């Protein structure tokens, strides 16, 4: 059942999922028909799998109380929502790594003799991948056994919630920095291209659309603090999956 803000979370995920897969489908069609397929397209296509898992877990969590006030959520719903949120976090880490790698690979296709830009991209993606994978692994190891994450009645041990909040914030900050670096990398390439200045500006704007992702990540920093919450936890988490899907 969808209560309170769960219905808005559900609607946002559906809209973003449809727009995302439509865009990916158009990209695949364009590259196949023009016989211009590259590794960036392969990685982008693979990223559709963890993104589908991400959307599925978010929808499952919304149907079980994510975004709803605690008085509308039964214990069974709460456990299902917590379980879905754990796997949402893992799927987010996997999908964002592949998406950023795809963008970096796309930029390498237009780099000609700019080795310093190539190495900047490699180092950026390597650092981001290391940090994000570490958090994904922690999400699966935060409780022993893992089921205790969503069922506190099980005997075992869990790390304090502030550890996950700190790691999530680290991923967000790293994501923001990597987005900015990736957005600025094409600028030196455009500067040396033989084209009209207006075309350079338009191309630069298109290649810098990643700044929108950075804005969402910055906004998400505030909602990451909800991971430290002890009351009405599921309701306070409602914005994190939506901003992540952006």
Domain that holds residue 107: 4-237
Percent of the chain with pLDDT over 70: 74
Number of structural domains (the chain) is 1
Residue 246 lies in a domain: no
Residue 143 lies in a domain: yes
Residue 188 lies in a domain: yes
Which pLDDT does position 149 carry in this prediction?
85
Which pLDDT does position 166 carry in this prediction?
83
**CB neighbours of 181 closer than 8 A, spacing ≥ 6?**
120, 121, 124
Residue 244 lies in a domain: no
Residue 81 lies in a domain: yes
pLDDT greater than 80 at residue 44: yes
Residue 214 lies in a domain: yes
pLDDT greater than 80 at residue 158: yes
Residue 245 lies in a domain: no
Which pLDDT does position 171 carry in this prediction?
86
Residue 177 lies in a domain: yes
């Amino acid at each position: 059942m969808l209560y309170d803000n769960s219905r808005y979370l559900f609607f946002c995920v559906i809209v973003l999922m449809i727009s995302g897969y439509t865009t990916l489908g158009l990209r695949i069609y364009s590259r196949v028909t023009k016989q211009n397929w590259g590794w960036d397209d392969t990685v982008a296509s693979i990223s559709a799998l963890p993104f589908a898992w991400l959307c599925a877990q978010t929808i499952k969590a919304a149907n079980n109380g994510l975004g709803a006030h605690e008085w509308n959520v039964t214990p069974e719903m709460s456990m299902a929502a917590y379980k879905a949120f754990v796997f949402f976090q893992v799927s987010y880490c996997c999908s964002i790594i592949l998406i950023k790698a795809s963008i970096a690979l796309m930029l390498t296709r237009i780099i000609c003799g700019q080795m310093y830009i190539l190495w900047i991209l490699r180092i950026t993606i390597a650092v981001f991948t290391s940090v994000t994978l570490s958090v994904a692994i922690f999400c699966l190891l935060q409780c022993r056994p893992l089921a205790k994450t969503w069922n506190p009645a099980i005997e075992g041990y869990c790390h304090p919630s502030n550890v996950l909040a700190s790691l999530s914030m680290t991923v967000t900050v790293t994501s923001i920095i990597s987005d900015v670096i990736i957005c600025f990398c094409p600028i030196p390439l455009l500067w040396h291209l033989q084209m009209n200045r207006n075309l350079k500006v338009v191309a630069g704007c298109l290649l810098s659309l990643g700044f929108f992702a950075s804005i969402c990540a910055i906004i998400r920093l505030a909602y990451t603090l909800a991971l430290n919450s002890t009351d009405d936890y599921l309701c306070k988490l409602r914005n994190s999956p939506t901003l992540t899907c952006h």
